[in-house]
Homo-oligomer: A and B are copies of this chain.
Protein backbone atom coordinates (compact mmCIF):
# COMPACT_ATOMS: atom_id res chain seq x y z
CA UNK A 1 0.00 0.00 0.00
CA UNK A 2 1.00 3.64 -0.27
CA UNK A 3 4.30 4.41 -1.90
CA UNK A 4 4.94 0.79 -2.91
CA UNK A 5 1.64 0.39 -4.77
CA UNK A 6 3.03 1.47 -8.15
CA UNK A 7 5.52 -0.84 -9.87
CA UNK A 8 9.21 -0.06 -9.44
CA UNK A 9 9.29 1.09 -5.81
CA UNK A 10 10.67 -0.37 -2.61
CA UNK A 11 10.36 1.10 0.87
CA UNK A 12 11.24 0.52 4.51
CA UNK A 13 10.49 1.94 7.93
CA UNK A 14 12.65 1.16 10.95
CA UNK A 15 13.40 2.40 14.44
CA UNK A 16 16.74 4.16 14.87
CA UNK A 17 16.07 5.37 18.40
CA UNK A 18 15.41 9.03 17.49
CA UNK A 19 12.05 8.79 19.25
CA UNK A 20 12.27 8.04 22.94
CA UNK A 21 9.19 5.83 22.53
CA UNK A 22 11.16 3.39 20.39
CA UNK A 23 8.66 3.75 17.55
CA UNK A 24 9.81 3.67 13.93
CA UNK A 25 11.48 6.93 12.95
CA UNK A 26 13.48 6.38 9.74
CA UNK A 27 11.90 5.69 6.36
CA UNK A 28 13.40 5.16 2.93
CA UNK A 29 11.67 5.08 -0.46
CA UNK A 30 13.65 3.88 -3.49
CA UNK A 31 12.73 4.25 -7.16
CA UNK A 32 14.04 1.22 -9.09
CA UNK A 33 13.17 2.74 -12.44
CA UNK A 34 13.59 2.46 -15.31
CA UNK A 35 12.99 6.25 -14.99
CA UNK A 36 14.15 8.50 -12.15
CA UNK A 37 12.05 11.57 -12.97
CA UNK A 38 10.95 13.63 -9.97
CA UNK A 39 9.30 16.89 -8.90
CA UNK A 40 8.76 18.67 -5.60
CA UNK A 41 6.89 21.45 -3.84
CA UNK A 42 8.42 23.02 -0.74
CA UNK A 43 7.30 25.22 2.16
CA UNK A 44 6.84 28.92 1.49
CA UNK A 45 8.43 29.71 4.85
CA UNK A 46 11.62 31.74 4.49
CA UNK A 47 13.15 29.95 7.45
CA UNK A 48 13.86 26.60 5.81
CA UNK A 49 15.18 23.48 7.42
CA UNK A 50 18.48 21.95 6.25
CA UNK A 51 16.78 18.99 4.50
CA UNK A 52 14.55 21.39 2.53
CA UNK A 53 17.58 23.36 1.37
CA UNK A 54 19.45 20.16 0.47
CA UNK A 55 16.59 18.63 -1.50
CA UNK A 56 15.88 21.88 -3.30
CA UNK A 57 19.52 22.02 -4.32
CA UNK A 58 19.96 18.45 -5.52
CA UNK A 59 16.72 18.61 -7.47
CA UNK A 60 18.11 21.69 -9.21
CA UNK A 61 14.94 23.04 -10.73
CA UNK A 62 11.47 22.34 -9.25
CA UNK A 63 11.74 19.07 -11.11
CA UNK A 64 14.69 16.85 -11.85
CA UNK A 65 15.86 13.36 -11.01
CA UNK A 66 15.90 11.40 -7.77
CA UNK A 67 16.57 7.75 -6.93
CA UNK A 68 15.61 7.75 -3.28
CA UNK A 69 14.06 9.65 -0.40
CA UNK A 70 15.32 9.47 3.19
CA UNK A 71 12.88 10.63 5.85
CA UNK A 72 13.18 10.87 9.60
CA UNK A 73 10.82 11.85 12.38
CA UNK A 74 11.98 12.86 15.84
CA UNK A 75 13.94 15.99 14.86
CA UNK A 76 13.28 18.65 12.20
CA UNK A 77 16.90 19.69 11.69
CA UNK A 78 15.67 23.28 11.29
CA UNK A 79 17.52 26.30 12.70
CA UNK A 80 20.59 24.17 13.28
CA UNK A 81 23.12 26.23 11.30
CA UNK A 82 25.93 24.95 9.07
CA UNK A 83 26.41 21.92 11.32
CA UNK A 84 22.81 20.90 10.79
CA UNK A 85 23.21 21.22 7.04
CA UNK A 86 26.32 19.04 7.24
CA UNK A 87 24.26 16.45 9.11
CA UNK A 88 21.76 16.34 6.26
CA UNK A 89 24.56 15.95 3.71
CA UNK A 90 26.14 13.15 5.77
CA UNK A 91 22.84 11.30 6.00
CA UNK A 92 22.27 11.55 2.23
CA UNK A 93 25.82 10.32 1.68
CA UNK A 94 25.25 7.36 3.97
CA UNK A 95 22.08 6.23 2.16
CA UNK A 96 23.78 6.80 -1.23
CA UNK A 97 26.66 4.55 -0.14
CA UNK A 98 24.20 1.89 0.98
CA UNK A 99 22.37 2.07 -2.36
CA UNK A 100 25.39 2.55 -4.59
CA UNK A 101 24.23 5.88 -6.02
CA UNK A 102 25.30 9.51 -5.75
CA UNK A 103 24.23 11.62 -2.73
CA UNK A 104 22.72 14.10 -5.20
CA UNK A 105 20.17 11.41 -6.11
CA UNK A 106 18.85 11.31 -2.53
CA UNK A 107 16.19 13.68 -1.22
CA UNK A 108 15.98 14.21 2.55
CA UNK A 109 12.95 15.11 4.71
CA UNK A 110 12.91 15.64 8.47
CA UNK A 111 10.16 16.42 10.97
CA UNK A 112 10.11 17.02 14.70
CA UNK A 113 11.40 19.64 17.13
CA UNK A 114 13.00 22.76 15.63
CA UNK A 115 16.42 23.91 16.79
CA UNK A 116 17.95 20.64 17.89
CA UNK A 117 20.70 18.71 16.13
CA UNK A 118 20.01 15.26 14.73
CA UNK A 119 21.50 12.46 16.87
CA UNK A 120 23.78 11.27 14.07
CA UNK A 121 25.16 8.38 16.14
CA UNK A 122 21.67 6.90 16.01
CA UNK A 123 20.53 8.11 12.61
CA UNK A 124 23.44 6.76 10.51
CA UNK A 125 23.10 3.14 11.70
CA UNK A 126 19.34 3.53 11.30
CA UNK A 127 19.83 4.47 7.65
CA UNK A 128 21.83 1.28 7.13
CA UNK A 129 19.07 -0.76 8.76
CA UNK A 130 16.41 0.85 6.58
CA UNK A 131 18.44 0.25 3.42
CA UNK A 132 18.84 -3.40 4.39
CA UNK A 133 15.10 -3.71 5.03
CA UNK A 134 13.98 -2.25 1.67
CA UNK A 135 11.22 -4.33 0.11
CA UNK A 136 8.45 -4.13 -2.44
CA UNK A 137 4.86 -4.83 -1.44
CA UNK A 138 2.15 -3.47 0.79
CA UNK A 139 3.79 -4.12 4.16
CA UNK A 140 6.89 -2.10 3.30
CA UNK A 141 4.78 0.87 2.22
CA UNK A 142 2.83 0.77 5.47
CA UNK A 143 6.03 0.60 7.54
CA UNK A 144 7.47 3.64 5.78
CA UNK A 145 4.26 5.61 6.41
CA UNK A 146 4.35 4.70 10.10
CA UNK A 147 7.97 5.79 10.48
CA UNK A 148 7.24 9.42 9.54
CA UNK A 149 4.47 9.99 12.11
CA UNK A 150 4.94 12.58 14.89
CA UNK A 151 1.72 13.70 16.61
CA UNK A 152 -0.25 11.84 13.93
CA UNK A 153 -2.67 9.37 15.46
CA UNK A 154 -2.67 7.20 12.34
CA UNK A 155 -0.48 6.50 9.31
CA UNK A 156 -1.74 8.03 6.06
CA UNK A 157 -1.46 6.27 2.72
CA UNK A 158 -3.26 6.42 -0.60
CA UNK A 159 -3.50 4.38 -3.80
CA UNK A 160 -5.13 5.67 -6.97
CA UNK A 161 -5.66 3.18 -9.77
CA UNK A 162 -5.61 5.00 -13.10
CA UNK A 163 -5.86 3.78 -16.68
CA UNK A 164 -2.65 1.78 -17.15
CA UNK A 165 -0.73 3.32 -14.23
CA UNK A 166 -0.93 3.74 -10.47
CA UNK A 167 -0.29 6.63 -8.08
CA UNK A 168 0.66 5.80 -4.50
CA UNK A 169 1.52 8.02 -1.59
CA UNK A 170 2.07 8.57 2.09
CA UNK A 171 1.78 11.67 4.27
CA UNK A 172 2.64 12.88 7.71
CA UNK A 173 0.90 15.82 9.33
CA UNK A 174 -1.45 16.66 12.16
CA UNK A 175 -2.33 20.26 12.80
CA UNK A 176 -0.07 23.14 11.83
CA UNK A 177 -1.51 22.79 8.36
CA UNK A 178 -1.50 26.06 6.49
CA UNK A 179 -0.93 27.48 3.07
CA UNK A 180 2.47 26.38 2.00
CA UNK A 181 1.85 22.88 3.31
CA UNK A 182 2.89 23.38 6.92
CA UNK A 183 4.60 20.58 8.84
CA UNK A 184 3.59 18.16 6.25
CA UNK A 185 5.68 15.58 4.50
CA UNK A 186 4.25 13.82 1.47
CA UNK A 187 5.88 11.30 -0.85
CA UNK A 188 3.95 10.41 -3.98
CA UNK A 189 5.03 7.63 -6.33
CA UNK A 190 3.82 6.58 -9.75
CA UNK A 191 4.75 4.03 -12.37
CA UNK A 192 3.56 6.32 -15.16
CA UNK A 193 6.04 7.44 -17.79
CA UNK A 194 6.53 11.20 -17.56
CA UNK A 195 9.24 13.80 -17.95
CA UNK A 196 10.29 15.83 -14.87
CA UNK A 197 8.67 18.96 -16.28
CA UNK A 198 5.38 17.11 -16.81
CA UNK A 199 5.51 15.87 -13.23
CA UNK A 200 6.16 19.40 -12.03
CA UNK A 201 3.14 20.81 -13.85
CA UNK A 202 0.83 18.05 -12.65
CA UNK A 203 2.09 18.19 -9.05
CA UNK A 204 1.70 21.97 -8.76
CA UNK A 205 -1.80 21.81 -10.19
CA UNK A 206 -2.74 19.09 -7.71
CA UNK A 207 -1.27 20.71 -4.58
CA UNK A 208 -2.75 24.12 -5.42
CA UNK A 209 -6.30 22.82 -5.03
CA UNK A 210 -5.69 20.32 -2.21
CA UNK A 211 -2.93 20.85 0.35
CA UNK A 212 -2.82 24.59 -0.34
CA UNK A 213 -6.47 24.86 0.70
CA UNK A 214 -5.98 23.30 4.11
CA UNK A 215 -5.66 25.95 6.78
CA UNK A 216 -5.77 24.27 10.13
CA UNK A 217 -4.17 26.84 12.38
CA UNK A 218 -2.61 29.46 10.11
CA UNK A 219 0.92 28.41 11.03
CA UNK A 220 3.47 27.42 8.37
CA UNK A 221 6.34 25.06 8.98
CA UNK A 222 10.01 25.18 8.11
CA UNK A 223 10.07 21.62 6.74
CA UNK A 224 7.08 21.03 4.46
CA UNK A 225 7.86 18.99 1.40
CA UNK A 226 5.80 17.19 -1.23
CA UNK A 227 7.85 14.86 -3.44
CA UNK A 228 6.75 12.99 -6.55
CA UNK A 229 8.83 10.15 -8.01
CA UNK A 230 8.00 8.43 -11.31
CA UNK A 231 9.48 5.02 -12.14
CA UNK A 232 7.92 4.63 -15.59
CA UNK A 233 7.67 0.90 -14.82
CA UNK A 234 4.08 0.62 -16.10
CA UNK A 235 5.16 1.60 -19.59
CA UNK A 236 2.07 3.84 -19.78
CA UNK A 237 2.54 7.46 -20.76
CA UNK A 238 -0.71 9.16 -19.70
CA UNK A 239 -1.98 12.36 -21.27
CA UNK A 240 -1.07 15.35 -19.05
CA UNK A 241 -4.68 15.84 -17.97
CA UNK A 242 -5.00 12.16 -17.02
CA UNK A 243 -1.81 12.26 -14.93
CA UNK A 244 -2.91 15.51 -13.30
CA UNK A 245 -6.32 14.07 -12.44
CA UNK A 246 -4.82 10.99 -10.80
CA UNK A 247 -2.41 13.10 -8.77
CA UNK A 248 -5.19 15.43 -7.73
CA UNK A 249 -7.23 12.48 -6.48
CA UNK A 250 -4.27 11.18 -4.48
CA UNK A 251 -3.53 14.59 -2.99
CA UNK A 252 -7.18 15.26 -2.15
CA UNK A 253 -7.41 11.94 -0.34
CA UNK A 254 -4.24 12.56 1.69
CA UNK A 255 -5.34 16.16 2.45
CA UNK A 256 -8.63 14.88 3.85
CA UNK A 257 -6.71 12.41 6.03
CA UNK A 258 -4.47 15.21 7.31
CA UNK A 259 -7.42 17.39 8.22
CA UNK A 260 -9.25 14.55 9.92
CA UNK A 261 -6.18 13.98 12.11
CA UNK A 262 -5.54 17.65 13.02
CA UNK A 263 -4.36 18.08 16.58
CA UNK A 264 -7.19 18.38 19.03
CA UNK A 265 -9.92 19.06 16.50
CA UNK A 266 -13.54 18.15 17.09
CA UNK A 267 -14.89 19.64 13.84
CA UNK A 268 -13.88 19.51 10.18
CA UNK A 269 -15.01 22.80 8.71
CA UNK A 270 -15.39 23.41 4.97
CA UNK A 271 -15.65 27.11 4.15
CA UNK A 272 -17.08 27.49 0.67
CA UNK A 273 -16.86 31.00 -0.70
CA UNK A 274 -19.14 31.56 -3.69
CA UNK A 275 -19.99 34.56 -5.84
CA UNK A 276 -16.45 35.92 -5.64
CA UNK A 277 -15.09 38.39 -8.18
CA UNK A 278 -12.08 36.13 -8.70
CA UNK A 279 -10.32 33.11 -7.21
CA UNK A 280 -7.93 35.29 -5.25
CA UNK A 281 -10.79 37.06 -3.47
CA UNK A 282 -12.48 33.76 -2.70
CA UNK A 283 -9.27 32.32 -1.25
CA UNK A 284 -8.57 35.42 0.80
CA UNK A 285 -12.06 35.39 2.33
CA UNK A 286 -11.94 31.65 3.01
CA UNK A 287 -8.58 31.93 4.75
CA UNK A 288 -9.61 34.96 6.82
CA UNK A 289 -12.59 33.00 8.15
CA UNK A 290 -10.60 29.77 8.56
CA UNK A 291 -7.93 31.51 10.64
CA UNK A 292 -10.23 33.54 12.85
CA UNK A 293 -9.93 32.23 16.39
CA UNK A 294 -13.33 33.59 17.35
CA UNK A 295 -14.99 31.71 14.50
CA UNK A 296 -13.04 28.56 15.38
CA UNK A 297 -13.92 28.66 19.07
CA UNK A 298 -17.58 29.35 18.21
CA UNK A 299 -17.72 26.13 16.17
CA UNK A 300 -16.04 24.25 19.01
CA UNK A 301 -18.89 25.53 21.17
CA UNK A 302 -21.40 24.49 18.44
CA UNK A 303 -22.56 28.09 18.19
CA UNK A 304 -23.67 29.11 14.64
CA UNK A 305 -22.19 32.58 15.16
CA UNK A 306 -22.54 34.16 11.72
CA UNK A 307 -21.72 37.59 13.14
CA UNK A 308 -18.14 36.48 13.77
CA UNK A 309 -18.00 35.16 10.21
CA UNK A 310 -19.11 38.52 8.82
CA UNK A 311 -16.58 40.31 11.01
CA UNK A 312 -13.84 38.04 9.59
CA UNK A 313 -14.98 38.67 6.01
CA UNK A 314 -14.84 42.38 6.78
CA UNK A 315 -11.11 42.22 7.51
CA UNK A 316 -10.34 41.37 3.85
CA UNK A 317 -10.12 43.62 0.84
CA UNK A 318 -12.08 41.26 -1.40
CA UNK A 319 -14.83 42.76 -3.53
CA UNK A 320 -18.17 42.60 -1.68
CA UNK A 321 -20.87 44.84 -0.27
CA UNK A 322 -21.48 44.38 3.46
CA UNK A 323 -25.23 44.64 2.88
CA UNK A 324 -25.21 41.86 0.29
CA UNK A 325 -23.46 39.09 2.26
CA UNK A 326 -25.28 35.78 2.69
CA UNK A 327 -24.07 33.04 5.05
CA UNK A 328 -25.34 29.48 5.38
CA UNK A 329 -24.21 27.09 8.11
CA UNK A 330 -24.97 23.43 7.53
CA UNK A 331 -27.65 24.33 5.02
CA UNK A 332 -29.42 27.05 6.99
CA UNK A 333 -29.17 30.61 5.58
CA UNK A 334 -28.72 32.33 8.93
CA UNK A 335 -27.65 35.59 7.28
CA UNK A 336 -29.12 37.23 4.18
CA UNK A 337 -28.18 40.67 2.97
CA UNK A 338 -25.78 41.23 5.86
CA UNK A 339 -28.37 40.65 8.56
CA UNK A 340 -30.13 37.87 10.44
CA UNK A 341 -32.33 35.61 8.31
CA UNK A 342 -33.30 32.04 9.22
CA UNK A 343 -33.38 31.22 12.93
CA UNK A 344 -29.93 30.16 14.09
CA UNK A 345 -31.57 27.64 16.39
CA UNK A 346 -32.27 25.58 13.28
CA UNK A 347 -28.57 24.92 12.66
CA UNK A 348 -27.40 21.46 13.71
CA UNK A 349 -23.73 21.57 14.73
CA UNK A 350 -23.62 18.39 16.76
CA UNK A 351 -21.81 16.40 14.07
CA UNK A 352 -18.13 16.53 13.13
CA UNK A 353 -18.69 18.01 9.66
CA UNK A 354 -19.44 21.72 9.33
CA UNK A 355 -20.22 23.34 5.98
CA UNK A 356 -20.18 27.12 5.76
CA UNK A 357 -21.24 28.88 2.55
CA UNK A 358 -20.43 32.56 2.14
CA UNK A 359 -21.96 34.28 -0.91
CA UNK A 360 -20.12 37.51 -1.73
CA UNK A 361 -22.48 38.38 -4.62
CA UNK A 362 -19.57 39.93 -6.49
CA UNK A 363 -18.93 37.44 -9.30
CA UNK A 364 -18.93 33.77 -10.14
CA UNK A 365 -15.71 32.35 -8.68
CA UNK A 366 -15.69 29.84 -5.84
CA UNK A 367 -13.08 28.27 -3.55
CA UNK A 368 -13.42 25.95 -0.55
CA UNK A 369 -10.93 26.22 2.32
CA UNK A 370 -10.78 23.44 4.91
CA UNK A 371 -9.99 24.01 8.55
CA UNK A 372 -10.73 22.76 12.07
CA UNK A 373 -12.20 24.22 15.23
CA UNK A 374 -10.10 25.59 18.08
CA UNK A 375 -10.59 23.30 21.03
CA UNK A 376 -9.27 22.70 24.51
CA UNK A 377 -7.35 19.72 23.13
CA UNK A 378 -5.60 21.97 20.58
CA UNK A 379 -4.38 24.21 23.39
CA UNK A 380 -3.35 21.22 25.45
CA UNK A 381 -1.40 19.45 22.70
CA UNK A 382 0.40 22.58 21.56
CA UNK A 383 1.24 23.89 25.01
CA UNK A 384 2.39 20.57 26.42
CA UNK A 385 4.18 19.17 23.34
CA UNK A 386 7.19 20.99 21.85
CA UNK A 387 7.42 21.10 18.06
Give me the interface of A with B, judged by CB distance under 8 Å. Answer: 44-48, 76, 78-81, 84, 113-116, 176, 180, 217-222, 291-294, 297-298, 300-301, 303, 305-308, 310-317, 320, 322-323, 325, 335, 337-340, 374-376, 378-380, 382-384, 386-387
Contact = CB atoms under 8 A, between A and B. Distances in A.
Interface centre among A46, A322, A340 (most CB of B within 10 A): A46
A47 B327 CA distance: 14
Given A291-B218, A293-B382, A305-B386, A314 B45 contact: yes
9 contacts: A46-B314, A115-B307, A115-B310, A218-B292, A293-B374, A297-B378, A305-B386, A374-B383, A379-B379
Contacts of A176: 294
A294 B217 contact: yes
B298 A79 contact: no
Contact of A293 (B46, B114, B218): B218
B219 A307 contact: no
A217 B294 CA distance: 8
A363 B191 CA distance: 51
B294 A47 contact: no
Contacts of A301: 382-384
Given A79-B310, A80-B339, 11 more contacts: A46-B320, A47-B310, A47-B311, A48-B314, A78-B307, A79-B306, A79-B339, A218-B293, A219-B312, A222-B314, A308-B387
B335 A115 contact: yes
Given A220-B315, A315-B220, A335-B115, A79 B307 contact: yes
Given A48-B322, A115-B307, A218-B291, A81 B339 contact: yes
A79 to B, nearest CB: 5
A19 to B, nearest CB: 18
Nearest to A316: B46
A47 B322 contact: yes
B298 A45 contact: no
Contacts of A297: 378-379, 382-383
Contacts of A337: 81
Contact of A383 (B47, B303, B338): B303
Nearest to A46: B314
A8 to B, nearest CB: 36
A300 B379 contact: yes
Contacts of A115: 306-307, 310, 335, 339-340
A116 B294 CA distance: 18
A292 to B, nearest CB: 6
B383 A298 contact: yes
Contacts of A387: 294, 305, 307-308
Contact of A310 (B222, B291, B293, B335): B222
B383 A322 contact: no
The 8 A-B pairs at the shortest CB distance, nearest first, are namely A114-B307, A301-B383, A47-B314, A297-B382, A81-B339, A45-B314, A115-B307, A46-B314
Contacts of A300: 379, 383
A84 B338 CA distance: 11
B45 A84 contact: no
Contacts of A46: 313-317, 320, 322
